[in-house]
Structure 1
Amino acid sequence: MTAFDADLRSLAAQTSLSRRTVVATSLATGFAMAVQPIAAQTAIITDTNGLTAGEVKIPTQDGEIPAYRAMPANDGPFPTVLVVQEIFGVHEHIKDVCRRLAKLGYFAVAPELYARQGDVSKLTNIQQIVSEVVSKVPDAQVMADLDATVAFAKATGKADVTRLGITGFCWGGRIVWLYAAHNAALKAGVAWYGRLVGDTSTLMPKNPVDLAADLKAPVLGLYGGADQGIPISTIDQMKEACRAAGKTCEFVVYPGAPHAFHADYRPSYRAEPAHDGWQRLQAWFRQHGVA
């Protein structure tokens, strides 16, 4: 057991994770209110032709949480990708990412990781989402729910979890780094503009930069050069921490791209870096055994 996993166990005990109640019992329909109106001219909508896709329930230690699952309709088992939500939860964009991955031949599943703290889809601004829900989500809970999602995927018989990858966006980008330090069975991760340094708390005791030496899988980090919330200096810190620890980490910084450049339904979307990052994700997964 690493120091990080010991910290997570201690955190789980302190926050009584086993006694929490699931609040969000189903997924949001459409896009989160905080991102309305959507940029309809750029939003990508992937169909379900040739797919099995829809909401599922993930058994956890305290009940079950909702998730979105998409996979090819025939054959299997398929390589497995965990998709970790943005700050806005598992709304239409994250569901669509799952369908895009399924079209590539993956079993893709996105658990609603705020299910015990609240439904962010009905909240109208980011500050409210952070203060009322996200700030109350323990890292230990997230790691346990991702582990439960892997177990669910394996139990379906349609997912090959020996070929396990993870990708996440914004809030989920940070989680990619944490999960790569947590699960030794993970083959590879792709983190889209996930925070690397910052304040810690009882519920979030470590930053990715603190966990570089604990990384168990190679991680590709995709970042925007004009991201106001993630300075280039923090990316440089993470690069150096990974290098010093001898870990396989690669970083791509897109000049002029803002935060959330992959979010095609928002004004922050930038088509060229989003497309390039998606191609790099596929290549990274193939290179490291998630294919």
Structure 2
Amino acid sequence: MTAVHGSTVEIPTLDGTADAYFVHPAGGGPHPGVLLYQDAFGPRPALNAMADRLAAEGYAVLLPNVFYRQGRAPVVELPPHIDHDNRGALFARLMPLMQGLTPDLVVADAHAYLGWLADRPQVADGPVGVTGYCMGARLALHTAGAHPDRVAAVGGFHGGRLATDQPDSPHLAAATMTAEAYFGHADQDQSMPPEQQERLEAALTEARVTHRCEVYRGAGHGYTQSDTSDFDAAATERHWAALLDLFGRTLRR
């Protein structure tokens, strides 16, 4: 396994300074850049470890705290293990933050994150990849739609509410995307029911976006998050295989 170097960094934005975790292979380079979007619980050891694993595969990975307007990560104190007993209380505090992160703010922040990556000597020139988990899949879609010149690949895993009937639904970003996309839906995820899966698939197809959408049978919302009760080791490894295949084909030309 390739050794990696990770550190906490600060990224200037239009609304302040976003704290973030930046990790890249310890030697060689530069490396293709990847923007990794958090789930609702935000940057923490379990998510940093996912960024580390991606970096060990040869990528320079930025994991921003997208709730930086409310404070540094973690913006809500987290237990060592997130389960069904404490999840409700956590979401009661996190839901207003999620709802306040509008598409306009997501796009403005993405501009800052991508600009910061472009200025790093560890990051190769050229397109970047974006991957997002839970709410992060929504952010990934908005970022790809707003920055078609920069984003060549989008991975979204156990994303929720990606194709609603609202005028700012994330799936509408397909119309301006040029990135190849992969989505791994959880079939036990009530936030991404079959009708939304079908709506997302139809939007990607109509926009002629190269894509693959798969349903992970038996997996629940949050299946990649190792510090939660929804963690599914087999589904997580399937996600890694799909994500690395996507990035390997699109970012290493």
Q: Is the 8 A contact 1:143 1:182 kept in 2?
A: yes
Note the 1:91-110 alignment, pairs <5 A: 91-110=44-63
Q: Does 1:146 pair with 2:110?
A: yes
Match 1:260 to one of 197, 210, 222: 222
Counterpart of 1:245 in structure 2 is 207
Give per-residue Cα distances to partners, 1:136-161, cap 9 Å, x unaligned. 22222222222212221222211014
Unmatched segments (≥5 aa) in structure 1? 1-46
Distance in 2 of aligned mates of 1:199 and 1:243: 18
Match 1:121 to one of 76, 83, 87: 76
Q: Is the 8 A contact 1:164 1:290 kept in 2?
A: no
Q: Does 1:280 pair with 2:242?
A: yes
Distance in 1 of aligned mates of 2:252 and 2:230: 29
Q: SS state of the match for residue 121, structure 1?
A: coil
Q: Does 1:234 pair with 2:196?
A: yes
Note the 1:177-256 alignment, pairs <5 A: 177-184=141-148, 185-195=150-160, 196-198=162-164, 200=166, 206-256=168-218
Distance in 2 of aligned mates of 1:147 and 1:120: 22
Q: Is the 8 A contact 1:153 1:161 kept in 2?
A: no
1:165 counterpart letter in structure 2: G
Give per-residue Cα distances to partners, 1:149-192, cap 9 Å, x unaligned. 22212222110141310101001011111111111211101011
Distance in 2 of aligned mates of 1:245 and 1:164: 20
Unmatched segments (≥5 aa) in structure 2? 79-88
Counterpart of 2:36 in structure 1 is 83
Match 1:269 to one of 221, 227, 231: 231
Q: Is the 8 A contact 2:186 2:219 kept in 1?
A: yes
Distance in 2 of aligned mates of 1:161 and 1:143: 21
Note the 1:65-80 alignment, pairs <5 A: 65-80=18-33
Counterpart of 1:11 in structure 2 is none
Distance in 1 of aligned mates of 2:181 and 2:203: 13
Cα gap change, 1:211 to 1:177, in 2 (>3 Å): same
Offset of residue 62 of structure 1: 4.0
Q: Is the 8 A contact 2:158 2:185 kept in 1?
A: yes
Distance in 1 of aligned mates of 2:182 and 2:121: 28
Offset of residue 278 of structure 1: 0.6
Distance in 2 of aligned mates of 1:231 and 1:271: 22
Q: How many percent identity over aligned positions?
A: 27
**CA-atom RMSD in angstroms:** 1.9
1:284 counterpart letter in structure 2: L
Offset of residue 64 of structure 1: 2.1
Q: SS state of the match for residue 78, structure 1?
A: coil
Distance in 2 of aligned mates of 1:80 and 1:216: 17
Q: Is the 8 A contact 1:180 1:219 kept in 2?
A: no
Q: Aligned residues, how many?
A: 239
Q: Is the 8 A contact 2:8 2:22 kept in 1?
A: yes
Distance in 1 of aligned mates of 2:136 and 2:234: 22
Q: Is the 8 A contact 1:91 1:121 kept in 2?
A: no
Distance in 1 of aligned mates of 2:113 and 2:29: 18
Distance in 2 of aligned mates of 1:60 and 1:290: 29
Give per-residue Cα distances to partners, 1:199-250, cap 9 Å, x unaligned. 64xxxx5112323222221110011111122102211111112112222121
Distance in 2 of aligned mates of 1:199 and 1:163: 31
Q: Please give the TM-score of this superposition, normalised by the length of structure 1.
A: 0.77
